[in-house]
Chain A
Amino acid sequence: DTAVSQTPKYLVTQMGNDKSIKCEQNLGHDTMYWYKQDSKKFLKIMFSYNNKELIINETVPNRFSPKSPDKAHLNLHINSLELGDSAVYFCASSQDRVNEQFFGPGTRLTVL
């Protein structure tokens, strides 16, 4: 009965590879987000979808592409991975754009 789940929890890959991280929420929320947390715990918004529509698209390399097949899912695809992409990526959801967010457990991405 996990509210916001992410897969995989750990992802280790080589530079130049393409990888995806999946996120699902069973809370019936309309809005979902992707965040990147660096090694100093700094948390930065990357994308947000509201009812499958992209509403926040921060200054993120276009190697990162979010996809929302339905309101309950928001996946993150990363092309041509670079060393600097190593971080923990968090998915989150909220009932709407003005309510508190519920976070997934995170995906630790390590690029070698």
Chain B
Amino acid sequence: GDSVTQMEGPVTLSEEAFLTINCTYTATGYPSLFWYVQYPGEGLQLLLKATKADDKGSNKGFEATYRKETTSFHLEKGSVQVSDSAVYFCALLNPSGTYKYIFGTGTRLKVLA
């Protein structure tokens, strides 16, 4: 079945450091890929998405590129801020499957001032 694998956290960085959170997936067909962010005590919010191979999603300085050849959708940001501290979830939705979101296990990011 479809699956999403995220790097284990927590990830601790200093402010202005470069961020990469790895995400790889297994799916048949052509899934859509998403990154969601969960700030403390809140629900998940969509951060960015990509619906086909080579698409790049971007928002708030975060980027991720849908790489079909490596089945990856790594999240990157050039300069993190303390306010980026949150849990980040990679997810896929396979419209040729069961229409269920498959979420990764989440990666906690902590940014220190």
Q: Which residues of A contact B82 (CB under 8 A)?
A: none
B105 within 8 A of A: yes
Between A and B, how many residue pairs show CB distances below 8 Å? 48
Q: A97 to B101: give the CA distance in the assembly, Å.
A: 10
Q: A102 to B87: give the CA distance in the assembly, Å.
A: 16
Task: Please choose the segment from B11-19, B67-75, B92-100 that sits at the chain A interface, where 4 or more of its residues have CB less than 8 A away.
Answer: B92-100
Interface size band for A:
20 to 34
User: Closest CB-CB distance, B38 to chain A, in whole Å?
Assistant: 8
Chain B residue nearest to A58 (CB atoms) is: B100
A103:B106 contact, CB within 8 angstroms: no
User: Closest CB-CB distance, A16 to chain B, in whole Å?
Assistant: 28
Chain A residue nearest to B99 (CB atoms) is: A97
B43:A105 contact, CB within 8 angstroms: yes
A104 within 8 A of B: yes
B100:A103 contact, CB within 8 angstroms: no
Q: A42-B105, A100-B34, A100-B49 are in contact. Are A56 and B43 (CB under 8 A)?
A: no
Q: A41-B108, A42-B105, A43-B89 are in contact. Are A105 and B46 (CB under 8 A)?
A: no
Q: A90-B43, A100-B34, A100-B46 are in contact. Are A41 and B99 (CB under 8 A)?
A: no
Which one of A48, A90, A98, A102 lies within 8 Å of B32 (CB-CB)? Answer: A98
Within 8 A of B (CB), among A22-71: 40-43, 45, 48, 55-56
Q: Which residues of A contact B100 (CB under 8 A)?
A: 45, 48, 56
Per-residue interface assignment for chain A, residues 73 to 112, with 1 indicating a CB less than 8 Å from any chain B CB and 0 otherwise: 0000000000000000010100001101111111000000
B45 within 8 A of A: yes
Q: A100 to B95: give the CA distance in the assembly, Å.
A: 12
B43:A41 contact, CB within 8 angstroms: no
B44 within 8 A of A: yes
A72 within 8 A of B: no
A-B contacts, 12 listed (Cβ < 8 Å):
A41-B38, A42-B105, A42-B106, A43-B89, A43-B103, A90-B43, A92-B43, A100-B34, A103-B36, A103-B45, A105-B43, A106-B43
